[in-house]
Amino acid sequence: MGEPGFAFGYKVLGKHKKLGYTDGAMSTERKESPDPGAPVQLHARAMDNLAFIREAMTRSSSFTSVPGRGLLAMGLLALAGSFWASRPGAPWLGTWLAVAGGSVTVGAVSMTLKARRNRESLWMGPGRRFALSLAPPIVAGALLTAVFVHEGLWRLLPPLWLLLYGAGCVTGGAFSVRVVPLMGMCFMALAGGLMSLPEYGAFDVAGGMTAGDLFLAAGFGGLHIVFGVVIALRHGG
């Protein structure tokens, strides 16, 4: 009788140990093997959502397709125009009007290409607000140019162009990258500096480099080149 009891106890204990070992192994294996159906950690999902929201808000509130390379080309065109306009006998007004027309064409084409590359609309959202804010000072400058030429106020044309173009960049830049309104302020500062020169009254439209030509070259040439490079490097072309 002793042996069967001993055997029965042995088997029960052995079975209990075996079950315990198996449960432990299964528990350990469950902890180590990843569950493919486990949900993504909450903080990782929240960070992705915040990054998406931040990018969407930036795109919806600012126009980022101001063309740096286009501004660079406009600056080079203005430098060439200032050199040609200062030649004796050259049509001063006609030269600068040609530079203005070429710059508008270059700017419009390069802006359209960059907006298409960035999938950004020129007629909706920040692109539309940028255009509507930039256009009024430019249109005012064109109208006042006709008035000043009719009245013979040639010497007022360079500061007029610098001032109103700078004002347009400031107002339009409120819906664009920060460097655009800064560029506009620099144009307006050039206009103020030009009007403060004592020798500014001696403006020769028949030829020769004048203070007006120098400031126009510094603004539409130099500032466009400097800020164009900055925008191209920091904001993708």
pLDDT 10s digits, 96-107: 999 999 999 998
User: What mean pLDDT is reported for the chain?
Assistant: 77
pLDDT of residue 22: 46
Residue 92: how many CB atoms within 10 A of its CB?
Answer: 23
Which of the pair, 212 or 60, is modelled with greater confidence? 212
Provide the domain count of the chain. 1
pLDDT band at 43 (very low <50, low <70, confident <90, very high): low
Q: Is residue 228 part of a domain?
A: yes
Distance CA 171, CA 188 (A): 12
Per the structure, the complete domain to which residue 150 belongs is given by 66-234
Is 0.85 topped by the overall pTM? no
pLDDT of 162 strictly over 70: yes
User: What is each CA distance from 68 to 144, 189, 190, 192, 229, in whole angstroms?
Assistant: 28, 21, 21, 26, 6
Q: Is residue 108 part of a domain?
A: yes
Q: Is residue 38 part of a domain?
A: no
Q: Is residue 17 part of a domain?
A: no
Q: How would you label 10-42 residue by residue, b for 16+ Cβ within 10 Å and e otherwise?
A: eeeeeeeeeeeeeeeeeeeeeeeeeeeeeeeee
pLDDT of residue 23: 47
Nearest to 73 by CA among 196, 210, 225, 219: 225
Residue showing tokens 């990843």: 34
pLDDT of residue 168: 92
pLDDT of residue 187: 96
Which of the pair, 151 or 44, is modelled with greater confidence? 151
Q: By the 8 A CB rule, do 165 and 141 touch?
A: yes
List the structure tokens of 161.
């162009």
pLDDT of residue 25: 44
Q: Is residue 40 part of a domain?
A: no
pLDDT of 176 strictly over 90: no
Q: Is residue 207 part of a domain?
A: yes
User: What is each CA distance from 213 to 91, 102, 153, in whole angstroms?
Assistant: 13, 18, 15
Q: Where are the alpha helices (DSSP H) in 86-178?
A: 92-117, 125-151, 157-173
Q: By the 8 A CB rule, do 137 and 165 touch?
A: yes
Q: Is residue 35 part of a domain?
A: no
pLDDT of 48 strictly over 70: no
Q: Is residue 13 part of a domain?
A: no
User: What is each CA distance from 102 to 95, 96, 108, 232, in whole angstroms?
Assistant: 11, 10, 10, 20
